[in-house]
Structure 1
């Protein structure tokens, strides 16, 4: 990688790497002493927070600001960017959040989304709960659905700026106009390098790359890149570990050889594999896996991921692997993706709500990689398995408290989700007679000018119950500017969408 960068074959994607810190707080709505399995409940809380539509809306503002102000002018005004998400449902919500913000701004930025199959929205606070989406349905051109295979060519057109992805296009996607990446997914190991390397394609007009990372820190990224920067050698690997992993995976009785063979025909023989056909050939294994008890399902998923990981590594360093292992790998990788997106805890419900949120830019880094050659890499050996003990049980209220200590301990009333809404409603009640006619006769930029006094006056009421929120509006120029933009954006849309006579 170092030599390729020095000789201008690829771009250095770590030059402008901006990290963010998310802080949030949840509330146990029911205030009940409910016992839940600790591991599953913790995952459910994390999922609830990560998928929350409010978070996506706030991040969409950051992404569009950055893309439109900094990125789009590159590559002769045709620069493109990718939003990397952790799941198909998140990709859908990201696409919708971006499109809503684009519509609010009346921006000409256009987006596309890439994910496999059909997605049903499950977040309890989503305004589209229960709705189903497919990639072609969400990508429309002149009122017609865009076929999946046409997406790369369509994205290459000057009209498009942002591509939201979930798994697809994070490897092997060659788009030299890609200048920026917005990461909302935990990256680990070689996946870090593969994902960020979508940016490294050179273009005659490409001079910079940018990464905004909402999840990972700079040191974590540096450590993942380091082994690939210089020259590295891996110690010899015992191929028997793959066959042991394969034997253990099949011992669960979930995967049937006949289904693997049928999947292989659809995957290797058909020139354009159809996702519905692949799903159908893994449906039996998927059903049998999800029928397992929770502990057994966890064991199966661990063994499934272990086999996929071992095969992926060994196929690069061992000259020949059996055909049966290759077919099982293709089947297992597809099944693992389906199981990964199954609802955490088998649909475990946690009765909580989001009360506070803050998204803060930490720093923009030039991540330096070492000048010395990297020592020997670690090889795969042993069974790589661990023992499972009893499943810890905790109270939901205690778990929410621990969650808040970790992710929201320093949040104040100024970061509350609801005071902002209370402020907006107060301004609407007190000032609609002045603001509504202005919204009707001006574009948003003109409407926004000179509105900070309205926000300061409106915050006086919020200050009675939220002193920190009031002080934020009064003393913090950046917080006041962001609050003014948010309040006036909501009111502008409210007034433009509703006739005057209805008020």
Structure 2
């Protein structure tokens, strides 16, 4: 009974304040999946300590967005804090660190921990720079800090003899955001063997064979345990933590009525635009930039256009007032996800004007990180734009009934908990885990919340639904053993290309440490000239730059599982710094000068239809005659490629990707179902639905990283390669029905 009473939380009554309604007092008790997780982790770590005398263990907790992960973390921290060595008064876990992001530290964690009133004396919320070292010196039992401080905490523990003796637990919120790239190295550091030589020492042993340079580290540091929570684990997270120790999937949460299904259907629009840059450089003066960077920058120009924002803002307000506002007994709120802070600011200003013209009884807020406006150089702050008081948080103001719309730019797409949120307008493409995390802001239950409304202006509905299907039943990835041979193989491939040498890497590493910016850039320019002389073909250059990036990423992930030679680490640093600058000769500022002179000369927002989890549903029937329809045309992928090659200059590599994606979509049963249902409606299949298949094909290209084609007008223009592929796919499915 004592254990269960410690989980019972009494949340006090909140009096009505301004436009925030009164909230009655209530009691919180863990749901089954929460108490199961807390109990299983506590039991497992106690058993480990009893048998081995240490708590070195990693746990991956895969719980759905909206399933109460923050509360689970708080209850687990409380439970670990209360564990003792059997038969003694000595604590099993001396310190528990809760690692979260900044906004959660200010809201979710703060609010939930404050409800655990019996922990008030042992919890430290590290808000200021000097709070963290102060709490560690005090030996606070539970310390809440940001994920960005994780590496510093580990360094302190490693260098402080007194701290090193302590048994420490780390509870990481939304682990997928911290496992990728260099930050993940901090999480892997505690699992290095204490007696394993560092890379510098291991270099001397290289003569014993490359397979002996490093050995996988599976023994945990004897004093540290790590529990990572996430709804959408990345492959790198699963490789690091192994199979999920506890899973509570989105499908389970929906079935139990704990969250709302936000991916039932999506209203889809397509934003169309034509760009023009009046500045045309001479051929010998033109700079080259990565195609993906240019495409994204140009898309931002279009999505920041006043005319487009005016139009889309009006569409959003009409849908909000007609379809969202009446939900949840007339109290529903909505979020507008914008492509940039500049675009978000214009949305806010325009929507404010429109609400004033309407005499609307509700207001909007704009959530963003402070920035300097690129055109006016004015400092734009969230507090000033929204008129927030000192210490007032925008999420607290949004709780008021008078605020119904929240415009966001790279904020609140994860971790935001507002049960009255029932509508979302996407003016920014979201894919894979980001799509699931963003739309899951809508899944919080409310007594009167029966449905949600999602409107997408990026023609990305199919990709969003694909992402939800991918993660709906838990992680789709299997853990794999990290392989040190991959780094060694890539290292050999880079040097075998004959473009750069190991000495180049060593010299650059030394220069980065002691040289000036001018000296470093002079060296990079010399390396770029040599790179271009060695590889004349543009495709070969791209392949080599990709090889460098792949090598650097591989080393960043594996370096704390294995010890590598100095040569490996030097070349990885070299690849990380020099690689991105080899093809690009213009600076970002030069690129932005051109981008800012680019203007939208034609734009429109085109209604596509509603996409459901069962496939696209046509709302407006076409005007063609019903019946059996025209006889299907026999098509082949090879003939399509021949037609494309006759019309457009494409490489053999491009032809292979065209064939791969076309064959993949020609076998897609959801496309076949739609074609079957509408086989007699030629106008629909060759009009609206051809555009949808075009979008599906572009999503496939995005998924396989073929960003250059996505920025190439011969692919994207009407009648271009993507259109030809879409027509071929539809004809293939029609011929299948013959």
TM-score (norm 1): 0.52
Q: In structure 1, what is the equivalent of residue 443 of structure 2?
A: 200
Task: Report deviation, 1:71.
Answer: 0.9
* Residues 487 and 555, structure 2, Cα contact 8 Å, conserved in 1: no
Q: Is the 8 A contact 1:136 1:148 kept in 2?
A: no
Look up the match of 1:405.
717
Is 1:135 equivalent to 2:382 in the alignment? yes
How far residue 345 of structure 1 moved from its aligned partner, in angstroms, is: 6.2
Separation of aligned partners in 1, 2:554 and 2:392: 30
Tell me, in whole angstroms, the C-alpha distance in 2 between the residues paired with 1:131 and 1:85: 20
Aligned mate of 1:190, from 433, 441, 444: 433
Partner residue of 1:163? 406
Change in 2 beyond 3 A, CA 1:79/1:301: farther
Q: Which residue of 2 aligns with 1:349?
A: 594
Would the alpha carbon gap of residues 50 and 237 (structure 1) be closer, same or farther in structure 2, given more than 3 Å must change? same
SS at match of 2:433: helix
Secondary structure of residue in 2 paired with 1:121: coil
Deviations 1:363-393 (A, max 9, x none): 1232239xxxxxxxxxxxxxxx99xxxx99x
- Aligned residue in 1 for 2:417: 174
Residue deviations 1:148-199 (CA, integer Å, cap 9, x gap): 7621111011000111112221111111000000111111211111111010
**Superposition deviation, residue 10 in structure 1:** 0.9
Deviations 1:285-338 (A, max 9, x none): 9xx99x987989x98996899589969xx99xx9xxxxxxxxxxxxx9xxxxxx
Matches within 5 A, 1:334-483: 346-350=591-595, 351-368=597-614, 405=717
Instruction: Identify the match of residue 114 of structure 1 among 335, 350, 367.
Output: 367
| Range 194-203 or range 72-81, more displaced | 72-81
Structure 2 Cα separation of the partners of residues 74 and 174 of structure 1: 18
Aligned residues: 317
Distance of 2:332 and 2:608 partners within structure 1: 25
- The residue that corresponds to 1:82 in the other structure is 335
Q: Does the 8 A contact of 1:91 with 1:166 survive in 2?
A: yes
Q: Give the corresponding residue for 2:569.
A: none
Task: Give me the whole-angstrom Cα distance separating, in 1, the residues matched to 2:341 and 2:547.
Answer: 22
Distance 1:348 1:306, change over 3 A: farther
Distance 1:304 1:53 in 2: 43
- The alignment status of 1:225 with 2:468, answered yes or no, reads yes
What secondary structure sits across from 1:359 in the alignment? strand
Deviations 1:335-367 (A, max 9, x none): xxxxxxx96865241443322211022112322
Task: Structure 2 unaligned segments of length 5 or more: list them.
Answer: 1-249, 492-504, 532-544, 562-575, 577-586, 616-703, 721-738
**Residue 400 (structure 1) shift:** 10
In the alignment, which residue of structure 1 is the partner of 2:242? none
CA contact (8 A) 2:417 2:441 kept: yes
Aligned to 1:22: 271
Q: Distance in 1 between matches of 2:364 and 2:548?
A: 34
Unaligned segments of structure 1, at least 5 residues: 123-128, 258-283, 319-331, 333-341, 370-384, 393-398, 409-503
Counting only pairs closer than 5 Å after superposition, residues 320-335 of structure 1 correspond to structure 2 as none
Q: Give, in whole Å, the separation in 2 of the partners of 1:244 and 1:151.
A: 46
Does residue 11 of the first structure (1) align with residue 254 of the second (2)? no
Against the structure 1 CA distance between its residues 236 and 300, is the aligned structure 2 distance closer, same or farther, given a 3 Å change threshold? closer
Q: Say if 1:26 and 1:400, in contact at 8 Å, map to a contact too.
A: no
* Aligned counterpart, 2:320: 67
Which is worse superposed, 184-193 or 20-29? 20-29
User: In structure 2, do the counterparts of structure 1 residues 87 and 6 end up closer, same or farther at CA, with 3 Å as the change threshold?
Assistant: same
Based on CA coordinates, which of the two structures has the bigger radius of gyration? 2
Distance 1:364 1:355 in 2: 29
The answer to whether the Cα contact below 8 Å between 2:279 and 2:594 also exists between their aligned partners in 1 is: no
How far 1:403 moved relative to its partner? 9.5
Cα separation, 2, equivalents of 1:4 and 1:230: 10
Q: Secondary structure at the match of 2:594?
A: coil
Shift of 1:30: 5.1
Deviation at 1:49, TM superposition (A): 1.6
CA deviation string 1:426-468 (max 9, x = no partner): xxxxxxxxxxxxxxxxxxxxxxxxxxxxxxxxxxxxxxxxxxx
Counterpart CA distance in 2 for 1:149 and 1:234 is: 41
Q: Give the aligned CA root-mean-square deviation in angstroms.
A: 4.9
Residues 89 and 119, structure 1, Cα contact 8 Å, conserved in 2: no
User: CA shift at 1:235, angstroms?
Assistant: 2.2
d(CA) in 2 for partners of 1:216, 1:51:
17
Task: Give yes or no for the alignment of 1:151 onto 2:394.
Answer: yes
CA distance in 1, matches of 2:374, 2:548: 23
Note the C-alpha offset of 1:86. 2.9
